[in-house]
């Protein structure tokens, strides 16, 4: 039964706040990695496990969250996840070694995996069925804005304090969310209590999804299949996934109910959620790297650039929910969102080495509007045919696919940047010869400039060659990032036909008392 009045809004605030904890923590720690590395005396490769461990634990728990909520009661599971996440945040801030910090980040990831999907399911049962679009829009505020503002918050905290406070800021928020959850959220039946636990399913899920996520997180830095353990994990993930699907289809009490894939809208929604994750996390990954490595912006400057787009998403979300309630097809809005995302990528692909902060305002605002048009309609389309316990299961799988889409996107774009940089550099170097007037003019200008500063001819030529090499490197990087933007934009654009394969439905008929 749906909630009414002030209680409905308190619950909405609570679940959005709790899901924001998890979503912000997926990106906030990234800006602090160099400081943590220096403080704990770790290598960059080792400290990267802070992100990898969190992501692996998170993506393992996501598909199980529906089953866990059913077995222990959704309120109990949600409250336990908040408390565990808050305690893990305190322990992360107090860690004295990298090993401790990685362990506590994994615990954070385990708890975080229970927050986002359970929060979405609670929100769906809190709002009346006719307002399901508005509920999804409100949840989307955290899901879309969280990863975007994470680097901004992280950069600001590092400017005024040290890295432990990146974790300590979670504590008061977690305490407030835990209190509101305990006080206001209604208990749900423990439908799975007393039934046998599918231990084989849990083990196979952990092996398959954990191996896949580790491959995606570490593949590029380990030169992919040139590294034995990456090859082993890739093979393990394939066979583990096949065995997991077989196990879940053959057992009477699965932890992941694949039978919900019979709903066409949900099956297609899994792919569109994957694409959404690719675009959301991929673009958030490429843009800061481009700004900091090539244009020389600080982490805080980069985060501040992303903020107006996030604000546009926040402003747009309630309107998207209202449009859905009025019967505007979600397919139309999702298509417009994908097109706007393509426009955003197309505009950024035209960036130059002289681009300033003002050049990125409009593209990032367009991205913010596009993300609002994407998240709510795509989520609504995916869950529109699910009923009862299927909502919790579908929410977990849908969020897992978005997370995996982000991991695939970052891994693919990292590899693309690595390979295309070499390609463009090779092409540009072919123009460095004495028969190219543009090169000789630039080279001689550099030499004359260094001679005018008092250097001898030999040193001036050597320094001019280094200056030319630096210019080539920057131009190669610029062309590479342009390629990355085009890839993200074209993938979103080419995915538009997918949404029209889903059912056209004016109102999503999801019972308010889902368990």
Give the model's confidence band at 509: pLDDT under 50 very low, under 70 low, under 90 confident, else very high.
very low
Residue ending a domain, choose from 188, 211, 233: 188
- Containing domain of residue 207, as a range? 199-256
pLDDT in tens, 313-344: 878 877 887 787 777 888 888 889 889 989 99
Per-residue model confidence (pLDDT) at position 392: 67
Contacts of 250 (CB under 8 A, 6+ apart): none
Check pLDDT > 90 for residue 242: no
Q: Could you tell me the CATH number of the domain that includes residue 124?
A: 1.20.1250.20
Q: Which of 179, 113, 207, 201 is nearest to 396 (CA)?
A: 113
Is there a domain that residue 149 lies in?
yes
Give residue 149's pLDDT. Answer: 67
CA Rg value for the chain: 24
Do residues 371 and 337 touch, judged by C-beta distance below 8 A?
Answer: yes
Asked whether 94 and 40 are in contact (CB, 8 A), the reply is no
Residue 43 pLDDT: 67
**Same-domain pairing of 233 and 290:** no
Q: Are 68 and 398 in contact (CB under 8 A)?
A: no
62 to each of 178, 250, 294, 395, how far by Cα in Å? 20, 21, 36, 9
If you ran DSSP here, which 8-state letter would residue 223 be given? T
The whole-number pLDDT of residue 144 equals 64
22 belongs to a structural domain: yes
Q: Are 244 and 199 in contact (CB under 8 A)?
A: no
120, 220: one domain: no
Residues 24 and 158 grouped into a single domain: yes
Instruction: Determine contact, residues 414/293, Cβ cutoff 8 Å.
Output: no
Distance in angstroms (rounded) separating the CA atoms of residues 158 and 27: 14
Q: How many CB atoms lie within 10 A of CB 38?
A: 11
CA nearest neighbour of 256 among 500, 33, 68:
68
Domain boundary among 239, 256, 273: 256
Structure-block tokens of residue 68 = 């866990």
My answer on whether 54 and 130 are in the same domain is yes
Within 10 A of 354 (CB to CB), how many other CB atoms are there?
A: 7
- CA dist 363 and 283 (Å) reads 12
**Among candidate residues 256, 279, 299, the one where a domain is terminated:** 256
Is the confidence at residue 87, as pLDDT, over 90?
yes
Helix ranges (H only) for 63-97 are 65-72, 74-93
Residue 497 domain flag: yes
Angle (nearest 5°) at CA 427 between 426 and 428: 95
Q: Rounded distance, CA 45 to CA 52, Å?
A: 11
178-207 tens-digit pLDDT: 888 888 887 766 665 666 777 787 888 788
Residues 8 and 63 both lie in one domain:
yes
For residue 272, which of 349, 379, 348, 194 has the smallest C-alpha distance?
A: 379
Flag whether 289 is in a domain: yes
344 and 208 belong to one structural domain: no
Contact 452, 321 (CB under 8 A): no
390 falls within a domain: yes
Are 210 and 291 members of one domain? no
Distance CA 404, CA 420 (A): 24
- Residue 94 in any domain: the answer is yes
Q: Is residue 135 assigned to a domain?
A: yes
Question: 260: which residues sit within 8 A by CB, 6+ positions away?
Answer: 266, 386, 390, 393, 394, 397
Residue 241 confidence (pLDDT) above 80: yes
Q: For the segment 21-37, what is each residue's pLDDT rounded down to a tens digit?
A: 777 776 677 667 767 77
Residue 38 banded pLDDT, cuts 50, 70, 90: confident
**Looking at the structure, do residues 156 and 243 belong to the same domain, yes or no?**
no
Helix 264-293 and helix 330-348: axis angle, to 10°?
20
> Under 8 Å CB-to-CB from 343, ≥6 apart: which residues?
363, 366, 370, 489
In a domain, 193, yes or no: no
First to last CA, the chain: 11
Does 403 share its domain with 422? yes
CA distances from 72 to 107, 260, 404 (A): 19, 21, 26
The Cα-based distances of 496 to 9, 72, 183, 321, 501 in angstroms read 34, 39, 43, 20, 10
One domain for residues 300 and 244: no
Whether the CB-CB separation of 273 and 402 falls below 8 Å is answered with: yes
What token pair was written down for 272? 């569109």
CA 70, CA 203: separation in Å to the nearest integer?
Answer: 19
Q: Which residue has the higher pLDDT, 214 or 77?
A: 77
Share of the chain above pLDDT 70, in %: 85
Same domain, 92 and 169: yes
Q: What is the mean pLDDT of residues 407-412?
A: 77
Q: Quote the DSSP letter at residue 41.
A: T
Say if CB 205 and CB 65 are below 8 A apart.
Answer: no
Confirm whether pTM is higher than 0.85: no
In a shared domain, residues 492 and 475: yes
Contact 123, 138 (CB under 8 A): yes
Look at residues 218, 269, 164 and name the one whose alpha carbon lies nearest to residue 52.
218
Indicate the number of domains in the chain: 3
């Amino acid at each position: 039964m749906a909630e009414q009045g002030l209680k409905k809004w308190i619950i909405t605030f609570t679940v959005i706040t709790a899901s924001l904890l998890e979503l912000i923590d997926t990106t906030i720690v990234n800006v602090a990695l160099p400081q943590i590395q220096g403080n704990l005396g770790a290598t960059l490769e080792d400290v990267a496990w802070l992100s990898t461990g969190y992501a692996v634990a998170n993506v393992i728990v996501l598909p199980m969250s529906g089953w866990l909520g059913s077995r222990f009661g959704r309120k109990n599971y949600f409250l336990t996840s908040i408390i565990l996440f808050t305690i893990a945040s305190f322990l992360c801030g107090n860690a004295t070694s990298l090993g401790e910090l990685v362990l506590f980040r994994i615990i954070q990831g385990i708890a975080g995996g229970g927050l986002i999907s359970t929060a979405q399911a609670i929100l769906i049962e809190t709002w009346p069925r006719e307002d399901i679009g508005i509920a999804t829009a409100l949840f989307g505020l955290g899901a879309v804005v969280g990863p975007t503002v994470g680097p901004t918050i992280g950069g600001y905290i590092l400017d005024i304090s040290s890295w432990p406070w990146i974790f300590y800021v979670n504590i008061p928020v977690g305490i407030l969310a835990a209190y509101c959850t305990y006080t206001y959220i209604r208990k749900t039946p423990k439908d799975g209590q007393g039934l046998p636990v599918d231990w084989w399913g849990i083990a196979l899920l952990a092996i398959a999804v954990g191996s896949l996520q580790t491959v995606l997180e570490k593949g590029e830095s380990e030169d992919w299949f040139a590294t034995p353990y990456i090859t082993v994990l890739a093979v393990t993930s394939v066979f583990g996934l096949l065995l997991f699907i077989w196990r879940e289809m053959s057992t009477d009490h699965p932890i992941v109910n694949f039978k919900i894939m019979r709903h066409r809208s949900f099956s297609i929604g899994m792919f569109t959620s994957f694409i959404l994750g690719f675009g959301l996390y991929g673009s958030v990954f490429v843009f800061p790297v481009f700004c900091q490595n090539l244009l020389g912006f600080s982490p805080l400057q980069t985060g501040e650039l992303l903020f107006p787009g996030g604000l546009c998403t926040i402003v747009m979300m309630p309107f998207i929910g209202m449009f859905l309630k009025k019967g505007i097809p979600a397919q139309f809005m999702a298509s417009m969102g994908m097109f706007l995302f393509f426009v955003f990528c197309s505009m950024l692909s035209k960036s130059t080495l002289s681009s300033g902060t003002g050049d990125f305002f409009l593209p990032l605002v367009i991205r913010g509007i596009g993300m609002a048009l994407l998240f709510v309609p795509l989520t609504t389309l995916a869950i529109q045919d699910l009923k009862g316990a299927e909502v919790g299961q579908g929410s977990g799988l849908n969020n897992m696919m978005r997370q995996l889409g982000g991991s695939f996107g970052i891994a693919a774009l990292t590899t693309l940047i690595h390979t295309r940089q070499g390609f463009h550099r090779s092409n540009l170097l072919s123009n460095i010869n004495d028969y190219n007037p543009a090169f000789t003019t630039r080279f001689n200008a550099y030499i004359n400039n260094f001679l005018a500063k008092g250097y001898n001819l030999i040193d001036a030529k050597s320094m001019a060659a280094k200056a030319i090499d630096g210019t080539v490197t920057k131009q190669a990087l610029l062309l590479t990032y342009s390629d990355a933007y085009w890839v993200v934009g074209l993938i979103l654009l080419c995915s538009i036909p997918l949404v029209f394969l889903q059912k056209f439905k004016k109102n999503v008929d999801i019972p308010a008392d889902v368990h």
